[in-house]
Amino acid sequence: MNWLQGLRKTRARFADALRHALASPRPDETTIEELADLLVTADVPLRLVQAITRELEQAATRREPVRDTFRRVLLNAIGSAPALDWAALPAPTVILLVGINGSGKTTTAAKLAHQARLAGRKPLLGAADTWRAAGSRQLAIWAERIGCESVIGATGGDAAAVAYDALDAALARGCDIVLLDTAGRMHTREPLMRELQKVRTAMDKRLPGAPHHTWIVLDAMLGQNAVIQARQFHDITPLTGVIATKLDGSSKGGFLFAVRQELNLPILFAGLGEGENDLAPFDPAGYVDALLATGDTA
């Protein structure tokens, strides 16, 4: 699945808004207002909507086509981040995945391991979601499907011990990328905070400096609420990047602008489907152009 297909639902909102705005060389006040409303429903942050509105009002004087104005402002807002290069990551690199239940952590861990394998690395999947039996089983099945090493914690077991064992196994088996899946009970509960802290401490004990990255997995269906979640996690455990899942099912894909502007974290990957190949490195231009595509390409 590509960006254009993946952003089908969000794009529908943008396309509606754009068609109106593009109809006249200088969009009038009502058109701009309608456009702003539609952008807000796509969870584009208010501040950015206001910036777009201002720019559009000035578009005529600058003689810049409306679409170009739109594209320029959006590209500027989403910023750029260098794509993650699996081949260039030092060995071993330990990546901790956090996020609430259902956000797509386990699936994403598997997708990442798959990418690492394709890049010639030897990943290990660690299942530290010891709260739900299904969680560990799911990761074990993925590891088998992808064909990579795994350490699966027992249900009810100690997540920090699984984290330690995963690093231990990775070092013993010569694995160079460790992806650790964690439990995601509601972030507001004290125990999760303590558990994540214990997991980090256990990792650092086995391999000083680990984890090297902590990525939060955010469900795009939640739109701006996902940004609030991320902020809460950020307080619990320092995050270094964001992965947005389920962009394919969401009409709130505009929330990625809020991720960039409000969290100041790089968006690394986007989930565009459920299969192991449906995780795209985040591509700012591809994302913006997919939002602005008004043709019926879905």
- Chain residues binding Mg ion by CB under 5 A are 105-106, 129, 135
| Per CB under 6 A, 106 contacts ligand GDP | yes
Judged by CB, which is closer to ligand GDP: 27, or 252? 252
| Per CB under 6 A, 246 contacts ligand GDP | yes
The answer to whether residues 284 and 260 touch, using CB atoms and an 8 Å cutoff, is: no
| Per CB under 6 A, 105 contacts ligand GDP | yes
- Work out what residue 246 binds among ligand GDP, Mg ion, none; the CB cut-off runs from 5 to 8 Å by kind: ligand GDP
List beta partners, residue 96.
180, 214
Judged by CB, which is closer to Mg ion: 91, or 186? 186
Spatial separation of the C-alpha atoms in residues 265 and 240, rounded to whole Å: 6
CA 214-249-298 angle, 5° bins: 125
CA 258-9-242 angle, 5° bins: 35
H-helix segments, the chain: 3-6, 8-23, 29-41, 46-62, 66-78, 105-118, 133-146, 159-173, 190-206, 224-236, 255-258, 284-292
| Per CB under 6 A, 102 contacts ligand GDP | yes
- Work out what residue 224 binds among Mg ion, ligand GDP, none; the CB cut-off runs from 5 to 8 Å by kind: none
Judged by CB, which is closer to ligand GDP: 57, or 274? 274
Minimal distance, residue 192 CB to ligand GDP, in Å: 13
| Per CB under 6 A, 101 contacts ligand GDP | yes
Q: Report the C-alpha dihedral over residues 7, 54, 58, 44, rounded to 10 degrees.
A: 0
Could you tell me the two tokens for 160?
């920090």
User: What x-and-dash track marks residues 164-203 binding ligand GDP by CB under 6 A?
Assistant: --------------------x-------------------
Spatial separation of the C-alpha atoms in residues 230 and 233, rounded to whole Å: 5
| Per CB under 6 A, 274 contacts ligand GDP | yes
Spatial separation of the C-alpha atoms in residues 146 and 140, rounded to whole Å: 10
User: What x-and-dash track marks residues 129-168 binding ligand GDP by CB under 6 A?
Assistant: ----------------------------------------
Minimal distance, residue 246 CB to ligand GDP, in Å: 4
Which residues lie near ligand GDP (CB under 6 A)? Answer: 99, 101-107, 184, 245-246, 248-249, 271-274, 278
